[in-house]
Structure 1
């Protein structure tokens, strides 16, 4: 017991004498106070009597380093530290958040803490600060994994304007509420590799040494952010490098939806392995490499050659004449990597579900492939190995 204090216990509570006066502590709040170590615990000594008759029949008592609330139907919970300071600044139990409905939970991602209230949560994390998340944005945030999702911790309060537009910034992105539309989800590219580490990617990385992302901001955007993450000695992933690229002219197909024939111009959504590359001469890749020749074709007809390499002296649409695309002025297939969509080893081939999904040059919207600038494509090829993964799609449908 701190010096200069006195305590006496009775059948149904105790009386405490200390720096802030003499106060009784009893009932549910008294039981919680004792369980937390009494005045030697984090709450410290009482600063006033228990106050009851609050809305909903709740009670509160103030302590040296926080407050204790009894909430009928929910329980008895302390609110303290940085979270309590933010809670009080937002009006405490009289504000939008209402009463606490859980204790503070710590040891979260990066050592952060959070506490649930009737109408939202308050989060604390070093470097992010202490912020509340509530309403439609808060519900969306929690459903996407909260602080363990791709967004990380909130770094600003929610801000709204007279039109009903609201936004809130997080460590790795922004949530926006648009009247009549709902929530718009935006991620920064720095979120991609950390999302792998906390399980906030909806598609498997397969434990690959390298996982590369090609991510668009929305449907039917054709601009993608390309980020390669490399597995470290401790098993976590860190960003290796990044670039800007292009997807299909129609953007990405939704998760689980086949891209269909190439003339629909959709890129697939999902996680795919890479095992082979092609072009006019091996640039130094460890992937299995095929040097193209005037007879090189990729099957688009619904026969035994579908979604695979073969050689022929004829060119029958929708088979792709790979030599033509490799040698025409734009040099799309001068170098390329096969993304194993709708083909082994990732899956059996399904006729007419989509074919010829490559990573190639000529950074313009494609008929379903992912295109990079030539230098970025060569950098990828020179570091890629068989079994690396390629995760692609719109951020909303790729990350939690």
Structure 2
């Protein structure tokens, strides 16, 4: 961490927290204990999201590296920040999208690392987040489901995503041993086979 800079320990943060700045980052204390927030892209993202006053709250772990593709992760009260050289640093906030990400294997699964933060404001209050392998889309009616880049997503996009007649997905894309893949939506299903491409089925 190097030498302390910018003066002594400062308290009076949210929830009675304290911090002190060092050449290599900050040491932060709260009821979650003492954690290090080292200088770098993860701390930069944490700063951009409002430090402890934002959705992430205080860190609950140190920064841990050695993840897939030379990635690093730090866990916070309200989610995690992931970083890799190819994706940059983005948060996966606690909630349905994070649960879907973890269910699919986190950065080791088909999603890969996040390449955006979660954003809301879609039709009927929906939210989405982009990952290296596609996007996860959530609505209160359907839950959170992953839409991987590929032929099925291309056809869904051609029908104006959740704003079209297909609406939101209510399953992930799933495949069988015959290499047939399918994803079900509010308005119908898209089914892909190697020989026929994508077929559209309305409800």
Asked if TM exceeds 0.5, the reply is yes
Paired residues of 2:182 and 2:191 also in contact (CA < 8 A)? yes
Tell me, yes or no, if the aligned pair for 2:18 and 2:30 is still in contact at 8 Å.
yes
Per-residue deviation, 1:175 = 0.8
Asked if residue 94 in structure 1 is aligned to residue 108 in structure 2, the reply is yes
CA contact (8 A) 2:172 2:183 kept: yes
Deviation at 1:150, TM superposition (A): 2.6
SS at match of 1:3: helix
Q: Which aligned runs of 4 or more in structure 1 are off by greater than 3 angstroms?
A: none
- Segments of 5+ residues of structure 1 without an aligned counterpart are 189-400
In 1, Cα distance between equivalents of 2:97 and 2:115 = 14
Question: CA separation in 1, counterparts of 2:59 and 2:187?
Answer: 40
The worse-fitting range, judged by mean Cα deviation, of 174-183 and 159-168 is 159-168
Q: Provide the residue aligned with 1:36 in structure 2.
A: 49
Bigger radius of gyration among the two: 1
Going from structure 1 to structure 2, the CA distance change for 1:163 and 1:31 (only over 3 Å counts) comes to same
The equivalent position to 1:116 in structure 2, one of 114, 117, 130, is 130
Per-residue deviation, 1:4:
4.1
Please give the alpha-carbon distance, in whole angstroms, between the structure 1 residues aligned to 2:114 and 2:138.
15
Name the counterpart of 1:226. none
Of Structure 1 and Structure 2, the greater strand share is in 2
Q: Deviations over 1:201-257 (max 9, x none)?
A: xxxxxxxxxxxxxxxxxxxxxxxxxxxxxxxxxxxxxxxxxxxxxxxxxxxxxxxxx
Residue 166 of structure 1: aligned partner? 181
Q: 1:142 to 1:50 in 2, by over 3 A?
A: farther
Higher RCO (C-alpha under 8 Å, 6+ residues apart): 1
| Alignment equivalent of 1:130, drawn from 130, 144, 149 | 144
Q: 1:93 and 1:139 mapped to 2: Cα distance?
A: 23
Q: Which residue of structure 2 lines up, in the alignment, with residue 378 of structure 1?
A: none
C-alpha distance in 1 between matches for 2:22 and 2:164: 48
Q: Secondary structure at the match of 2:45?
A: helix
Answering whether residue 19 of structure 2 is matched by residue 2 of structure 1, we say no
Question: Number of paired residues?
Answer: 188
| 1:66 Cα deviation from its structure 2 partner | 0.9
Structure-2-length-normalised TM-score: 0.84
Q: TM-score, normalised by structure 1?
A: 0.44
Among 1, 24, 36, the alignment partner of 2:36 is: 24
CA distance in 1, matches of 2:24, 2:121: 34
1:111-138 C-alpha deviation (Å, 9 max, x unpaired):
1111111112101111111111114323
